[in-house]
C-alpha cells in the first residue's frame, strides 16, 4: 500500500474519539513538524503553531509567556551536527533556551510536555541500546540534548510537570534537509555518481511518519510515572554501503560508486535501538527502509 494512503487511514482510525485539546507545536514548519501538523489537522484539536517562519521566537520569553495549552510538543531545535561545531553558541542558545521556556509554560499552565530529544548514547556499551543505557554526549548538538533532558527531569521532579521524551535514532523521509546522508545519497544517485567518505558506519533508521505516529499516540498516553523516555527506531541497523546498494537498485540508470575511505576520529560504528519499552504505547514502526527510500525517490 502507498505510504501516504496508509498514513491517512491509520490517522483517521487512531484518534477519532479524542477530546479536543489545545496543543502547542514548536518547530511546526520544520521537517518533522510539517508532517505532524498535517497528521493532527484532521482532528478537532486547537493547534497553536510556534515557528520562526511564522514570526514567533520561542527563545524570547516575552513572546510566549502568555500562551496556554494542554500539551506542548517541542520539536524546534538546531540539529545539523557539523554546524554545531562551527557555531556552538547558537546551538546552546536555541536548544536550551527554547526548551526551558516550554518547560516553564508547562509549569504555569499545567501542560504536558512531549520533547523530541535525539540519539544520546555515544559509543554503545551493548546492543540493542535500551533507555537505561548510560547517556554520553559526543558532539555539541548531543550535549544540548543531554542538558535539555536533565532540565525536563528537573521540572518533573520539582514541579510535577508530566513529560515524555523521545530519543529517535536516525530519522529520514521526504523533505529532510538535503545535507543529511540519505537525501545526499539520493541526489548524488540522480547524477549517476555517488561519492562517500566512509561507508562502514551502521545506523538504525526510522521514517519520519513512524516518528509522527509515536508523537500522536503520546498525546493521549497516560504515563504511570509522569516521566518516561522512549527510544524510536526500527531495531535494525544498516551500513552506509548497504544504503548505497539499496538506493542504486531503485534507479534504472548506471551509478558509479566511490568510497574515499576517509575515517572520522571517534566515529560511532553501529547503533541499534531497543524499542521494546514503547510497545506499551501500542506503537511499532510500520515503514521499512526499502519502502521509505522508494517514497523519497518517487516524485
pLDDT tens for the chain, 299 residues: list them. Answer: 455 544 444 444 444 445 789 999 999 999 999 999 999 988 888 999 998 888 899 999 999 999 999 999 999 988 778 888 999 999 999 999 999 999 999 999 999 999 999 999 999 999 999 999 999 998 899 999 999 999 999 999 999 999 999 999 999 999 999 999 999 999 999 999 999 999 999 999 999 999 999 999 999 998 889 999 999 999 999 999 999 999 999 999 999 999 999 988 888 999 999 999 999 999 999 999 999 999 999 86
Closest CA to 168 of 115, 107, 227: 115
Helix or strand run (H / E) with residue 171: strand 170-172
Residues with Cβ within 8 Å of residue 34, at least 6 apart in sequence = 28, 175
Domain 3-171+208-233+272-287 belongs in CATH node 1.10.599.10: no
Helix, strand, or coil here: 167? strand
pLDDT score of 298: 84
pLDDT score of 1: 43
The long-range contacts involving 96-99, CB below 8 angstroms and separated by at least 24 positions, are: 96/144, 96/147, 96/148, 96/151, 97/59, 98/26, 98/58, 98/59, 98/74, 99/74, 99/148, 99/151, 99/152
Say how many CA atoms lie within 13 Å of 93 toward its Cβ: 7
**Alpha-carbon dihedral of residues 290, 127, 213, 78, nearest 10 degrees?**
-90
Phi, psi of 163 (to 5 degrees): -140, 135
Rounded CA-CA distance 169/185 in Å is 19
Indicate the domain borders of the chain: 3-171+208-233+272-287
Amino acid at each position: 500500500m502507498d505510504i501516504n494512503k496508509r498514513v491517512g487511514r491509520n490517522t483517521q482510525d487512531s484518534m477519532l474519539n479524542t477530546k479536543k485539546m489545545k496543543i502547542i507545536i514548536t518547530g511546526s514548519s520544520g521537517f518533522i513538524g510539517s508532517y505532524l501538523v498535517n497528521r493532527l489537522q484532521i482532528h478537532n484539536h486547537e493547534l497553536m503553531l510556534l515557528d520562526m517562519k511564522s514570526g514567533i521566537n520561542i527563545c524570547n520569553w516575552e513572546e510566549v509567556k502568555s500562551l496556554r495549552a494542554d500539551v506542548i510538543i517541542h520539536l524546534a531545535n538546531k540539529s545539523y551536527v557539523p554546524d554545531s561545531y562551527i557555531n556552538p553558541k547558537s546551538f546552546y542558545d536555541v536548544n536550551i533556551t527554547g526548551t526551558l521556556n516550554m518547560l516553564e509554560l508547562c509549569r504555569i499552565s499545567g501542560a504536558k510536555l512531549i520533547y523530541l530529544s535525539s540519539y544520546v548514547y555515544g559509543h554503545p556499551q551493548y546492543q540493542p541500546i535500551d533507555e537505561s543505557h548510560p547517556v554520553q554526549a559526543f558532539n555539541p548538538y548531543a550535549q544540548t540534548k543531554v542538558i535539555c533532558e536533565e532540565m525536563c527531569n528537573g521540572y518533573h521532579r520539582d514541579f510535577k510537570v508530566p513529560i515524555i521524551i523521545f530519543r529517535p535514532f536516525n530519522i529520514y523521509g521526504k523533505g529532510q534537509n538535503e545535507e543529511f546522508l540519505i537525501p545526499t545519497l539520493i541526489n548524488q544517485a540522480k547524477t549517476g555518481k555517488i561519492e562517500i567518505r566512509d561507508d562502514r558506519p551502521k545506523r538504525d533508521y526510522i521514517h519520519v511518519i513512524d516518528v509522527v505516529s509515536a508523537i500522536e499516540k503520546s498525546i493521549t498516553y497516560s504515563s504511570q510515572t509522569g516521566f518516561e523516555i522512549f527510544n524510536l527506531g526500527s531495531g535494525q541497523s544498516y551500513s552506509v554501503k548497504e544504503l548505497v546498494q539499496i538506493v542504486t537498485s531503485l534507479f534504472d540508470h548506471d551509478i558509479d560508486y566511490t568510497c574515499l575511505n576517509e575515517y572520522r576520529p571517534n566515529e560511532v560504528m553501529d547503533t541499534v535501538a531497543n524499542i521494546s519499552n514503547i510497545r506499551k504505547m501500542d506503537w511499532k514502526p510500520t515503514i521499512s527502509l526499502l519502502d521509505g527510500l522508494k517514497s523519497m525517490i518517487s516524485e
